[in-house]
Structure formats: structure tokens, C-alpha cells
Amino acid sequence: MQDLRAGTVQFNHHPGDKAANLAIIQRFVEQAATQDVQILAFPEMCLTGYWHTRTLCREAIAALAEPILDGPATRQLLTWSARYDMTIGVGLIEEAPDGTLYNAYVVTMSDGTWACHRKLHCFINPHLASGDQYTVFDTPHGCRVGVLICYDNNIVENARVNALMGAEILMAPHQTGGCLSRSPGAMGRIDVALWENRHADPETIEAEFRGPKGREWLLRWLPSRAHDNGMYLLFSNGVGRDDDEVRTGNAMILDTYGQILAETWKAEDTLVVADLKAANFDLSTGRRWLQARRPELYSSFTKAIGNEQATRTVRGMPQD
């Protein structure tokens, strides 16, 4: 790994308005370029909008989708990557060559290459399939990057596999915080009126973002993904009203010890930037722990224990 500067973005997307969302993405790409950012992460499904898609029929989902390689979003992102010498990750809905639809994350690079991750644990809409492969790749800036989308990061094995595949940086795009949860100890709804009143009273909504529905919940588990695996982590998230929920933003960059290098809890679209140091990678606790693994003990990890269920069922989404 080489030293590089990273950025993560939180923004309030426009549901279904890809042109408006792409314009926001362009503004942040240009802003990041003025700060010499070399790798930039945007949120999950930020190009299409997120929570409103849970009730859309297949035809409406397909109307928002596009192919990756030949799609207009990927072509535009590749243009910006080349222009600004930047690796850029953006969430969208992918239409695969066989017509299957995915919650996906495309990452474009300055040398014209690209990668695409399909969310492994997709639940938002029954017409969106879950992916079945991990996504780890090298960038022109001398680092190895993995991608896990939102719920993918909740499964500890997914982060560990990325580390074992050599990921030094984990891009972790989300649409989370402020969610109605089945667990009394996780998140909880935020009154949308607090977001709508944010300009007159920013303190109240930002207190929610910093509290157990946002930052406090994230800090129970997110730093461990970075620390235990010795990876830098780029957490990007939606912020603000997302249909009948409120995303909490909390964009942050974590180092290989799970320490926060940069973060925000502002109730607004914003970018956070931090420098990632190569020296902190090889010497990190997590990397040394990986070297002490005993794989012969772990065969039970790949065996079903009998209570596995589809993510939509675990998440409590309606079954179709």
C-alpha cells in the first residue's frame, strides 16, 4: 500500500431522479479534486434513491437500472476518474446482461478500469437479486480495495474474507441509521419533522445523528471491522429524509486500528477527507492477528447450523 488521500460523502438523494443525483455526485467529485482526494466513496444506491424502491414493481425498478460497462453512469464516472486521477465508487441499480437486477456499487479508476460489487445480502426489494462474489481489486494509486454494501458489513465473515483477499481499504457504502429496527438495542426511527426543521433547529436533529440512532450505534460495531482486519474503512452514508425514514449521515474514515480519522454529524450534504498512511497498515494489530490464524480450526464456519434464513426474512421485510 502507498500513502493516499481518501474522501467519503454523505448526501440526501432525490428518489428516482438520476440526473439530479448525478449532478450532486459531480459537485462532490470536483470538490474532492480540489483537495487532492485519490479515492472517493459515495453512498449505497445514491444514484437512484433507496428506501422508496422497496415498494416498486419490477418494471419500475428496471426503469431505474442500467448496465455497468456500457451504462451512462459508468461512462461518466470513468470520464471523471481520468480527468481528476481519482478512484470513484457510486451506488446504483445494475441491469446484468441476463436481465437480473442488482443493488450494485461501481468503482471507476483513472486508467479506464472498473469494478462492480453486487450486494451480497440484498433485501430492499424482491426484484433485486443478491450477489454471490466478493469484490477486491487493485487501483492505479497502489492500494488494494474491497467493497461491502451496507448489510454486507454486518456479517463479520464478509469483512474477514476481504482482508484475506488482501484488501487494505474497505469501501463501505450505506443507507442506514434512523431505521425501524426489530431489536430494541439497535437504531430506531427519527421523526422526519426534525429533518424538515433542520435549518431552524440544527442542534436537535444533529443530536439524533450523534446518538443511539446514528453514531453511537455505528461505533458499537463498525470500528471492529477495521481494527480486527487491519483495514482502512471508508464509511459513506445517505443523510436526511429517505421516504418515511431519516438517514443519519455520519460519514467517517477509520484507520487500521478502528480509530476515527475524520467524521461528520452535520445534517447536510458534505465530504470528509483524511490521509491514509501505508506505515499504519503493515504494523496494525489486525494484520498481525491475521498472521496468527489457525485455519485448521475454522471448518465449522462454512457449515450451515440450521437457522439460516434469507436476508429479507431476517430483516423483517414483507415476503412476496
pLDDT for position 114: 97
pLDDT tens digits in sequence order for the chain, 320 residues long: 899 999 999 999 999 999 999 999 999 999 999 999 999 999 999 999 999 999 999 999 999 999 998 999 999 999 999 999 999 999 999 999 999 999 999 999 999 999 999 999 999 999 999 999 999 999 999 999 999 999 999 999 999 999 999 999 999 999 999 887 777 778 899 999 999 999 999 999 999 999 999 999 999 999 999 999 999 999 999 999 999 999 999 999 999 999 999 999 999 999 999 999 998 887 899 999 999 999 999 999 888 888 888 888 888 777 66
Across 165-180, b (16+ Cβ under 10 Å) vs e yields eebbbbbbbbbbbbbe
What's residue 313's pLDDT? 86
Closest CA relative to residue 128, chosen from 50, 73, 215: 50
**Cβ pair 243, 52 in contact under 8 A:** yes
Pair 110, 140: CB distance under 8 Å = yes
Cα 13 to Cα 141, 158, 181, 239, 293, distances in angstroms = 29, 27, 22, 8, 42
Query: Any idea where the domains of the chain sit in the sequence?
Result: 4-315
Contact in structure between 146 and 165 (CB atoms under 8 Å): yes
For residues 3, 40, 32, 258, the Cα torsion angle rounded to the nearest 10 degrees is -60
> Considering only the top CATH level, what class is 4-315?
alpha beta
Position 320 scores a pLDDT of 62
Indicate the pTM of the whole model. Answer: 0.96
Q: Rounded distance, CA 216 to CA 136, Å?
A: 29
pLDDT at 246: 97
What is the reported pLDDT for 314? Answer: 85
Q: Are 45 and 18 in contact (CB under 8 A)?
A: no
What is the per-residue pLDDT for 69? 86
